[in-house]
Structure 1
Amino acid sequence: MERNNETLTTDFILLGLWPEFHHLVMLICLVLLVYFLAVVGNGVLILLILLDSRLHSPMYFLLSQLSFIDFALISTTVPKMATNFFSGQRTISQVGCGAQIFISLTLGIAECFLLTFMSYDRYIAICNPLRYSGIVSHTTCTQMIIVSWGGGAVTSLAHTAYAMHFPICHPRVIPHFLCEVMALLKLTCEDISAYVKSVVVSSFLVVLVPLSLILASYTLIFLAVLHMNSLEGKNKALATCSSHLCVVTLYFGPAILVYMRPGSSTTPKLNQSLFIFNAILTPMLNPLIYSLRNKDVVAALKNTVISRCPSRKMKNHWDSCS
């Protein structure tokens, strides 16, 4: 009994995806299918970039980091959500809640920075191609990754520590499928208006500033593309940039609506829908966008599949013998 009382006072209850929905089993199965596709898609993309020497360039190195972030982001929410649903226990410990907040925020902010660096990479490649190898070196890419992860971790740590220190005076029920800062803060009875303002300020720094830099980069890129004489060069540049812009739109759109929309804290159901899009659907869509619209990735996939096909290896063996 003593242990049960302790659990009741320290654990949180995650209500999950739309608890009033009548076909929750079908919904969870659909989410698991999305999770499977995201894991396979991002995993295949990472392996292709590692195995195929033609993809050993700064652009694809950054893309492999984006795939890893997407893989980790969806893995912080879906397994716990599915486990809670099928076990019938929707609890998450206070430590687990804090860890989920920290990891999801770190990954989300790191993705903001990484997408900004990827746009800078495209800007240098298209607008200053002769200086590309000197500016975007392996060392520069490593620094980009360190800044992305470090900036995400530091900002996330500050938000997590501040949000978790508030005393909880309401029932420890979170109307969400994951521990999220603003949903958690609704359980405290203290005045959090100052903290909400700090969230808006930090959102401006980690969302609007990177987005502004991305838009500035692509404005310069499109101006450079307009002055290109080669139609093939224009098409290749636009194909690469359009893939990245699709990913930017999918990621930054919901993030702005959740954290920077006036009165967003009063619309929990809409926020949950936006989080589903950002934390579950986008990690599945990103590898599809980059692979289907990228000839180098498609060629690498075909080459990897063919080189590992037993019948192809046998044919090459008999050709060499003859």
Structure 2
Amino acid sequence: MNNKQIVFEAPWRVEVRETPIATGGLGAHEVLVKKKYTLISPGTELACLSGREGWFGMPGVPGYAAVSEIVEVGSGVKDFSAGDLVFHYGDHSAYQVVPANGVFLRAPQNVPPTWIPFARMATVAFTSIRVSNIELGDAVVVTGLGLIGNMASQLAKLQGASVYGIDLSQRRLQLAEETGIDAALHPDRADVREAILQRTNGEGASALIEATGVPKAAVDNLPLLAKYGELILLGSPRGEYQTNVTELLNYVHLINYGSISIRGAHEWRFPVARDPFVKHSLVRNSQIVFDLMANRQLKIEPLISHVLRPEQAAEAYEGLRNDKERYAGVLFDWA
């Protein structure tokens, strides 16, 4: 049986390959799945495609968000059967052998299949809420309103906060408004600090969720924070940035700068599976996200900009890189 895969061959070069896949010899806790839809994670995958992510080797198959149908299960898999529709951290390929004892969950029947891969984006964003002190009535600023930033905005709203988003893309600002943000601000068209102070009675925001991964964005927006506020690093910092680190540290150390806290919000800080001694886990967060989707509390449909064939992969990544006004949530349809 042949397997179709999207492959990053070299920096900024995307191809589709067909390679043989073995259909027998599954490990006891392994499952062979056939993909229905996979979702591009723009920040991570474009960073990999640039060739600047040391952990991603080229040629390599990107992707980590999938909804699939089970084809075959290993002898030790008891909770799943062939034909089940599942959510898992799958790559951009037609078939894949994956472990059934990680984040591997039955897809809820009351959620559209095209929404299911977005659970990965939501659980990534969820970490920013989990590590924070965001409470009912707080003001939160989110810098970067791509998929992760949009999800973080929606989750902060569900936490009871007023949420203000900042982005350079007019389309992303519009999507944020469609999904319920309190104010979507373009830094070239508004005095962002003045706008935040007006909306917070001059106090500033309780939390700043930095979702771009651009270090300069984190530092430049520190004046938006209130005294004892939190800078939450949701986007993985990438690229070189030189600044006066003393002034940055003064924001943490000195009361007249705000005595802020800096918190890391990488998703893997939590265990994968449920643990009786740890409240949060990736599995628990995923199950909560499914409930929010099923109850239509988390808005997914506006974020889907394209559903493309795998053969259109090069077009998809080019659009996400250079046409952010039209490309947002891009799914590959493997049917």
| TM tier relative to shorter chain | under 0.3
TM-score, length of structure 1 as denominator length: 0.26
- Higher relative contact order structure (alpha carbons within 8 Å, sequence separation ≥ 6): 1
Larger Rg: 1
Of Structure 1 and Structure 2, the greater strand share is in 2
TM-score, length of structure 2 as denominator length: 0.25
